[in-house]
Structure 1
């Protein structure tokens, strides 16, 4: 009996043992393996579906966030423009008010200067009149007491002086 001529009894016993082990494996072990593989496939598929659902939700949330961020940027830009415009209008109003106050102050100062000039001129005329009366009294040698006449002469003199300096 060599390797090319097998023993039939050993061959049959080996074949029966193989088929018994194969049947036991096919009936007990293969269903368990199939069940485990199915569970793993289901877990993998469920995890993949959950991952896809989470990814789609994350993309949706990101899109909402981007939209809100864009809206907030536009609102901030609008607020900045409105504040800028309001600042410009307030600045123009303040400048206008300042210009008006300045013009009022200049006008009031002009009126005050004119009033002071008129008052100073009147005081100067009175002083010149009294000095001229005293000087005329010294020249004549006796005091002049007719103040009304001296005032009329002085007024005529000043009117002539103003007419001469005006032309």
Structure 2
């Protein structure tokens, strides 16, 4: 079957010139679209491609900057943590040093107080021994006079008796000193 023999209704060209004019108009329309419309579409497509590509590049650049900022922040944070750890260690060592210094000062002060107290006790003891010896000398003379039954008013006799008694006392305090010190 031939296309011309088909019943196409109003689409059937009555003159063959209509087909030629239709083909020429189709070619003219194709040429006009190719010269005017397609370049505009190409230009618009290129602009959109550049815009999208620029947006992608800007996004990649922003992402790289954000990543660099994050790395910088993390490095600063790590440095801050290291510095804080160093400060804590320094504070601990300084605290230990201060405690040790205070302990040494307290020990020195305790030793000084102990030495002063011992010196004071020794001085008071010596003073008490001197006072007791003088009193014991008088009491010994009186007691000896009563025991002997004679008056010991003679200074030489009294002095000799007191000296003997005191020398016997001088030998005994070394034993009594150790007992006194052990009690303290």
TM-score range, shorter chain: 0.7 to 0.9
More deviation in 138-147 or 155-164?
138-147
- The offset of 1:100, in angstroms, is 1.7
1:114 correspondence with 2:122: yes
Task: Provide the residue aligned with 2:73 in structure 1.
Answer: 65
- Aligned pairs for 1:42-81 (under 5 A) are 42-81=50-89
Q: CA RMSD in A?
A: 3.3
- Does residue 1:2 correspond to 2:7, yes or no? yes
**Following the alignment from structure 2 to structure 1, what is the Cα–Cα distance between the partners of residues 155 and 121?**
30
1:52-98: CA deviations, max 9, x gaps?
A: 11211222222222222222222222222222222222222221222
Structure 2, unmatched stretches of 5+, are 1-5, 176-184
| Per-residue deviation, residues 134-165 of structure 1 (Å, max 9, x unmatched) | 66678899997666754553342132134256
Q: How many residues align?
A: 167
Aligned equivalents of 1:126, 1:92: Cα separation in 2: 50
Higher RCO structure, 1 or 2 (CA under 8 Å, sep 6+): 2
- Distance in 2, matches of 1:151 and 1:55, equals 114
Range moving further from structure 2, 86-95 or 100-109: 86-95
Moved more, 109-118 or 121-130: 121-130
- Residue among 79, 82, 85 paired with 2:90: 82
Change (3 A) 1:9 1:80: same
Shift of 1:126: 2.7
The answer to whether structure 1 residue 27 and structure 2 residue 32 are counterparts is no
| 1-structure distance, mates of 2:150, 2:133 | 22
Instruction: Point out where structure 1 has 5 or more consecutive residues left out of the alignment.
Output: none
